[in-house]
Amino acid sequence: MATIGVEEEYLLLDPVTGVPVPFAEKVRMAADVARLTGGREVQCELLQAQVEVATPVCGSLDEVGGHLLRLRHAMAAAAETHGCRIAAVATPPLRDALHPVAVTDHARYRAMLAQAPQLVAEQLVNGMHVHVAVPSREAGVQVLNRLRLWLPTLTAMSANSPLWDGHDTGFASWRTVVFGRWPVAGLPPVFRDLEDYERRVRRLLDCGLISDTGQLYWQARLSERYPTIEVRCLDVQLRADEAVMFAGVVRALVETALAQATAGEPVPDCPPEYLQGAMWHAARHGLSGTLIDPSEGARRAGDVLCGLLRHIGPALDASGDTREVTALVHRLLQQGTGADRQRAALTAGGPRAAVDLIVRESGY
């Protein structure tokens, strides 16, 4: 059973106005001084209203859930000492567009600001990244080639960013649209092997299209720091147990892809334009209508999720995660995504009600 790790990005919001506030370094230091977090568990992000937390390497979903709750509670306590709140949401319902949040004072981030100032100003988007250990980078490439078919489904399931500037964008995952504007973003291509992967990355670096491998904003990629596959298409989740569900699903997808590669099964053929359209459709609709099934075309979202559970069933059984993951997927279908819940709050009480929902659920 592969080990896993999870990274989550949070916004810091003013409790009165609901807009993002640039207190990331203060909050990070408060958590460190109070010994609420350790090591490099908390990092500042591109903009000063964002923080990122990372679990240790975990062997079970119980470990993942325990660490995420601990980190969320720690960050919430540290944020309150500076008069703000954490928000596990992928875009802010409200922001001060006339006064963009400042960039974190780091050479890499300053270079990004010089390269694309408007993109950086609008990069108030937060994701959840799941790392799953793989036996080698070559095996990781084979996993990427098979996993990519399921990235639109994961995006739809995780949709938690429908609001921007106080209104509904019409997209369940506006973060997916915002993040897709960087030079190397979106779905990863199919690679022949590890040599092909590394050759293409080197060419991007040599041409100056990216300044470092951290700017490979593919929705799944090989990690350069750890022996893992990193799945990055997910919006950060309102609730910690929803994040645990995705950790279980992603690990099972990786294990299933490894088994297929070991058995010599061919990489499924899927035209890139079809998969790109499926991703746009997922970001637009979430689970509110149809999804594009990797093999059967447009189907009801619930049917596609049932197909996903069948696909990863043996891997879930092997890790002992079947009951927990299945129950959480069924709850997702019944209660809706974070995007659905934000929209309901917006309809009931306006942007302020959506902010209250986000802050309330981020502690669970």
Q: What is the pLDDT of residues 175-210, one digit of tens each?
A: 999 999 999 999 999 999 999 999 999 999 999 999
In this structure, which amino acid lies at residue 338?
G
Residues with Cβ within 8 Å of 3's Cβ and at least 6 positions away in sequence, in order, are 57, 58, 59, 132, 133
In this structure, are residues 79 and 339 in contact, taking their beta carbons and an 8 Å threshold? no
In this structure, which amino acid lies at residue 305?
L
Least confident of 31-40, 136-145, 226-235, 344-353: 31-40
Kindly tell me if the per-residue pLDDT of 3 is higher than 70.
Answer: yes
Convert the pLDDT of each residue in 32-73 to its tens digit: 755 666 667 899 999 999 999 999 999 999 999 999 999 999
DSSP per-residue string spanning 198-223: HHHHHHHHHTTS-SSGGG-EESEEE-
pTM above 0.85, yes or no: yes
Q: Which CATH class is domain 4-337?
A: alpha beta
Q: What is the CA radius of gyration of the chain?
A: 19
Rounded distance between C-alpha atoms, residue 251 and residue 182, angstroms: 27
Convert the pLDDT of each residue in 76-88 to its tens digit: 999 999 999 999 9
Distance from chain centroid for Cα 54: 13
Q: Which two tokens stand for residue 257?
A: 């892809």
Question: Where exactly are the structural domains of the chain?
Answer: 4-337
Looking at the chain, the whole-number percentage of residues with pLDDT higher than 90 is: 90
Kindly tell me if the per-residue pLDDT of 299 is higher than 70.
Answer: yes
Give how far Cα 187 sits from Cα of 151, 259, 293, 326, Å.
8, 22, 16, 26
Mean model confidence pLDDT for the chain: 95
pLDDT, mean of residues 21-33: 88
